[in-house]
Structure 1
């Protein structure tokens, strides 16, 4: 039976509140890094973050996708087998990758960090990556078991520990980026603790080679897609490192983290509505997707415009001169992620018809465009051009997934008042880029009021009220 939009969004709102709170704790790390780390050292830390994410994706090997696909419809006994099998495989494979990296620790440190002095930091980042690889299947379990309380406890506990220890180890004991890595490591350990409150049958019992084969057959093809998507999100920081310097990586990485925070709205709802999509009939899915997209945009557009206004008009008052370029980067990243989030809706037919390999082709195409544009533009226009490339490549991804999805699973996106929605939000978005005869704080205030009026007119406030009931 299809879930109502109200129920769907209310469940999504729980994830949204948890993720936003967790993200605020994560974003609170940025002032600590900016204030107490040298920009070049902060750049090294950002490169470590990027490397960590690639390690995690390769170590998980698509098991998170397999859990999402098979766990909800499995019987109680098989649910335990699925989780235990996925966790054991991830543990063994991540351990092999970890050992391999340790064998080549020195040359890898020189390649990515440029200086052997960062070898201890790199070793810590690898250990964090190993634990984070195990965190990901646990995250999927919290969601598919609908244990929002455990997920909140895990995420908020993890990010709180990271924040407290980062402040202490970076500011008080002056341990630099090694201290930052130790804080990350502590947070990764804390994330496991609420898992003990899952059903005992989920954690203890036999594994299943039959399920292992099934999980790998479904999840392994997602590895290429996941690597391509992560590269699309973060390869620009590595390119900046090789074409510019670590200080440029610090500026861009800080701006990227602030701008990409918008993705947590999409992720929160995707974790609810996307698995639900597989439990409804095809005709019901054709109706569900446009309605959910419209209601999603009613929430995300005013938030995106509000963040853009804040970045342009208010953030400069709080940034040191070294990081002022971030003000120009953040809006491009915000709208790049909004464009990317559309692919979940516009390309949903690819996953319904088991044509996910076409999404992989779209992701690889967008990645190739992103790399080429970065290589051409960064030496000429600087790090701001990496944000342009992000917006263009993510828009291309959504466009390609829409075209290919429509060929396999035709969906009519009519029947929703799109003109009213876009007519309310596009003008304040465009006009703010015009020169205005007001101080920045006043311009920001005026645009904020305009945006709030547009949100009220389109029913966005009602949507938010529904979410928070």
Structure 2
């Protein structure tokens, strides 16, 4: 390994500890939740999350991007001012959005949970405001490079959410309120921890009006690409709400929850890769091989994990309550989300380096339109399976556009033929796992996919095994 690669691996492990623990916690939380809450109530909670995500995106107004961009440029005395100057616009906008939610509470509650007489709108407002502060809470810790604290906050948030779900379900009620209150409670706990450790940045409150306008000016364009990305990620839930029941939405969301454990791998990698890639480019833009090697390693990891998840999906879903087990057949195409997005995170940096970021709007927009059309076409006949097929295929479009454009803007010798061969094999296996009534053939196809991935990335496989053996030897020797 080169020094750069070792440094990248070390940082990745530090920043990903929380992500891995969250994945482990999520793996246990989802089955526990399904045993306590039926699919219909789970579906209602999913619609709440869908609306919450779009309100949070709009309220943030792209200011977290501004904060991350300006933070390294500010002195220690100026950074607390930057923090509050970035937080204040979303807080003020969230108050306006809260008024709208309150005025239309009956319609919003009916859409969210199927009845106008609900407290869902109140919880939505509270979760929105705490969600804004929690977003900056994590970004502050991330910007300061405090990897262990960053991971600790993530773990604490997941543990507090799981603990609240269990206690509320056992002591109060087993309905959608369990999950809604759990989200709000975990936001508050994680925010309190972050503020405690970084209280010198949060208190006293200092705002620079001129800086506020700079933050808004830089950040607001990200709202448009963010809306397209939101449409890509959440339109399936809206179409399911139009054509199916809350129960079907609950099954679909349970499938997504299982897959989300793998998506956390993507989150952990992106947390590290963006600043590392920018730094690498600024230091030596002609050293492109590290980008090629990064894609090779990540392609090996995500395809291996994806095919393994396909192979064992039926076993994994046995952990869920019986009423949720049909979700196993919904999950295969959803795995394409973390697989394709992780690789896109690597290859798309040429778009950033050339400052032609409008290509992200093109890629997200094209995929969102495809997903919208696909959902309206497939959901009425195939239900949740149709939504999964459309959503999964749309992420291939994101990768295809961003990799093609990025390679032209910043030529890196990526081996994309190898990637697309494995994508084709994965889609074939996902079709079998989704629609085949034969129990053996789908598993054989995904196991075959694991071996093909190892053969295609033989050197990366041997290197990963070597690192693993070396790590175990070092650990054993210390003991």
Task: Assess same fold via TM > 0.5.
Answer: yes
Q: Which range moves more in the overlay, 209-218 or 442-451?
A: 442-451
| SS of equivalent residue, structure 1 residue 72 | helix
Q: Which range moves more in the overlay, 29-38 or 250-259?
A: 29-38
Contact between 2:31 and 2:319, CA under 8 Å: does it hold in 1? no
Aligned to 2:184: 185
- Picking from 440, 457, 463, the partner of 1:459 is 463
Question: Residue deviations 1:381-432, cap 9 Å, x none?
Answer: 2211111111211110111122333343333326x9x85x999999899679
Aligned positions of 1:79-158 closer than 5 A: 79-117=79-117, 119-158=118-157
Distance 2:74 2:266 in 1: 26
Question: Residue deviations 1:63-112, cap 9 Å, x none?
Answer: 22222222134332333322221122222222222232112111211233
Q: Are residues 232 and 326 of structure 1, via their aligned partners in 2, closer, same or farther at CA, if it must alter by over 3 Å? A: same
Q: Which range moves more in the overlay, 11-20 or 431-440?
A: 431-440
Q: Are residues 278 and 46 of structure 1, via their aligned partners in 2, closer, same or farther at CA, if it must alter by over 3 Å? A: same
Aligned positions of 1:64-463 closer than 5 A: 64-117=64-117, 119-195=118-194, 196-198=196-198, 200-201=200-201, 203-204=203-204, 206-279=206-279, 280-281=281-282, 283-284=285-286, 286-312=288-314, 314-413=315-414, 457-462=461-466
| SS of equivalent residue, structure 2 residue 331 | helix
Q: Are residues 205 and 383 of structure 1, via their aligned partners in 2, closer, same or farther at CA, if it must alter by over 3 Å? A: closer
Question: Residue deviations 1:140-169, cap 9 Å, x none?
Answer: 111111112222332222221111111111
Distance 1:347 1:319 in 2: 37
Distance 2:201 2:469 in 1: 38
Q: Are residues 444 and 426 of structure 1, via their aligned partners in 2, closer, same or farther at CA, if it must alter by over 3 Å? A: closer
Query: Structure 1 stretches of 5 or more lacking a match?
Result: none
Q: Are residues 225 and 165 of structure 1, via their aligned partners in 2, closer, same or farther at CA, if it must alter by over 3 Å? A: same
Distance 1:380 1:425 in 2: 25
Distance 1:209 1:465 in 2: 55
Q: Are residues 246 and 430 of structure 1, via their aligned partners in 2, closer, same or farther at CA, if it must alter by over 3 Å? A: closer
Aligned length: 463
| 1:130 Cα deviation after fit | 2.0
RMSD of the TM alignment (CA)? 3.4
Distance 1:19 1:258 in 2: 14
Q: Which range moves more in the overlay, 301-310 or 6-15?
A: 301-310
| SS of equivalent residue, structure 1 residue 412 | coil
The answer to whether the aligner puts 1:45 opposite 2:45 as a matched pair is yes
Distance 1:425 1:460 in 2: 22
Distance 1:389 1:178 in 2: 30
Contact between 1:48 and 1:122, CA under 8 Å: does it hold in 2? no
Distance 2:453 2:401 in 1: 33
Q: Which range moves more in the overlay, 107-116 or 403-412?
A: 403-412
Contact between 1:236 and 1:374, CA under 8 Å: does it hold in 2? yes
Distance 1:33 1:272 in 2: 31
Q: With structure 1 as the length reference, what TM-score do the two structures score?
A: 0.87
Q: Are residues 400 and 21 of structure 1, via their aligned partners in 2, closer, same or farther at CA, if it must alter by over 3 Å? A: same
Q: Are residues 27 and 127 of structure 1, via their aligned partners in 2, closer, same or farther at CA, if it must alter by over 3 Å? A: farther
Q: Are residues 8 and 336 of structure 1, via their aligned partners in 2, closer, same or farther at CA, if it must alter by over 3 Å? A: same
Contact between 1:57 and 1:133, CA under 8 Å: does it hold in 2? no
Aligned to 2:18: 18
Distance 2:443 2:414 in 1: 38
| SS of equivalent residue, structure 1 residue 325 | helix
Contact between 1:252 and 1:326, CA under 8 Å: does it hold in 2? yes
Distance 1:184 1:439 in 2: 39
| 1:197 Cα deviation after fit | 1.5
Distance 1:452 1:361 in 2: 30
Q: Are residues 50 and 465 of structure 1, via their aligned partners in 2, closer, same or farther at CA, if it must alter by over 3 Å? A: farther
Aligned to 2:477: none
| 1:199 Cα deviation after fit | 6.5
| 1:377 Cα deviation after fit | 0.8
